[in-house]
């Protein structure tokens, strides 16, 4: 697609907001989907916004009449929730949002699609969450959203680990209240045999090679997942492949979310 051919006074603007931003692939994917679906006069562009500038950026976007919505990426998912006007039950429950839209009055509404996107990406591969033993590293915005989505799909066991222990405890307590009867517990950085092991932290992004958890005790049939998108093959996933374990990339989660995000921003149901 030649982006210049859609840039006119009729243009409706979508964005992705993060820090850093050079690594994101969502604009390419969203714009390709816009082209495939023949959606006229809509374009997504990246906006590099630091945490210190997020408040001003959000205030400005409320006044941009042709701004329709944005994907929110690291590290803004949790902070963004306090800056918008309203949010979905999922976003409120998980304490963060990864997509926002602007209405005709300039009000911003947010949702959290990370959890549904991740679950959908597994289901599209024929991987069942129900009845599986699942280990999750990360209790931030994305981690909380994925934990909620997993807990709602009746896993046999959900084990949550976070470097800040208190955040893991808080998330487990919240989930236990929302999903009584589910087997949800605290884990550590060395997961034992589980069916699915997930990194929902930013460790492994870019040139970072820190591991979010150890692979040493995982069984041969464990699926190792990473939500980091750049690089697509993180250090964690490379080591997992060396151990002959199956892997699931962050790009798979993003692929599953693209239509969900575009529909949220352009076709509000309420």
For the segment 135-172, what is each residue's pLDDT rounded down to a tens digit? 999 998 889 999 999 999 999 999 999 999 999 999 99
The share of the chain scoring above pLDDT 90, in percent, equals 89
Residue 230 in 3-state DSSP?
coil
Taken in order of first residue, the domains within the chain and their CATH numbers are 3-112 (3.40.50.10860), 115-253 (3.40.50.720)
Distance separating alpha carbons of residues 4 and 6, to the nearest angstrom: 5
Considering 15-19, 141-145, 265-269, the range whose residues carry the highest mean pLDDT is: 15-19
**Would you call 77 a catalytic residue per the annotation?**
yes
pLDDT band of residue 99 (cuts 50, 70, 90) is: very high
Residue with tokens 């982006």: 3
Cα distance between residue 16 and residue 8, in whole Å: 20
Parallel, antiparallel, or unpaired for β 99-102 and 108-111? antiparallel
Residue matched to tokens 């222990």: 165
| 183 pLDDT higher than 90 | yes
Q: Per-residue pLDDT for 2 more than 90?
A: no
Reduced to 3 states, what is the DSSP secondary structure of residue 225? strand
> Which of 10, 38, 62, 77 does the annotation list as catalytic?
77
Query: What average pLDDT does this structure show over 10-21?
Result: 96
Assess contact for 81 and 91: CB atoms under 8 A. Answer: yes
For the chain, the helix, strand and coil percentages under 3-state DSSP, each to the nearest 5: 35, 20, 45
pTM over 0.75: yes
């Amino acid at each position: 697609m030649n982006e210049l051919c859609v840039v006119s006074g009729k243009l409706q603007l979508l964005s992705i907001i993060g820090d850093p931003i050079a690594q994101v692939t969502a604009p390419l994917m969203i714009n390709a989907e816009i082209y495939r679906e023949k959606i006229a006069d809509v374009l997504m562009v990246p906006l590099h916004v630091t945490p210190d500038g997020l408040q001003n950026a959000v205030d400005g976007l409320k006044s941009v009449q042709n701004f329709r919505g944005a994907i929110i990426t690291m590290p803004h998912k949790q902070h963004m929730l306090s800056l918008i006007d309203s949010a979905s039950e999922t976003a409120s429950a998980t304490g963060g949002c990864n997509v926002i839209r602007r209405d005709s009055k300039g009000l911003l509404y947010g949702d959290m699609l990370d959890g549904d996107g991740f679950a959908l990406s597994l289901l599209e591969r024929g991987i069942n969450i129900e009845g599986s033993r699942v280990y999750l590293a990360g209790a931030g915005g994305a981690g909380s959203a994925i934990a909620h989505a997993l807990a709602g799909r009746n896993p046999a066991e959900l084990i949550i680990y976070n470097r800040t222990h208190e955040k893991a405890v808080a998330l487990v307590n919240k989930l236990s209240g929302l999903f009584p009867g589910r087997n949800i517990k605290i884990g550590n950085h060395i997961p034992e045999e589980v069916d699915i092991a997930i990194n929902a932290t930013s460790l492994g992004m870019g040139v970072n090679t820190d591991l979010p958890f150890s692979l040493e005790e995982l069984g041969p049939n464990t699926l190792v997942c990473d939500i980091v998108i750049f690089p697509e093959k993180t250090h964690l996933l490379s080591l997992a492949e060396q151990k002959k374990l199956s892997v699931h990339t962050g790009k798979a989660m993003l692929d599953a979310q693209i239509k969900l995000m575009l529909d949220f921003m352009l076709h509000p149901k309420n």
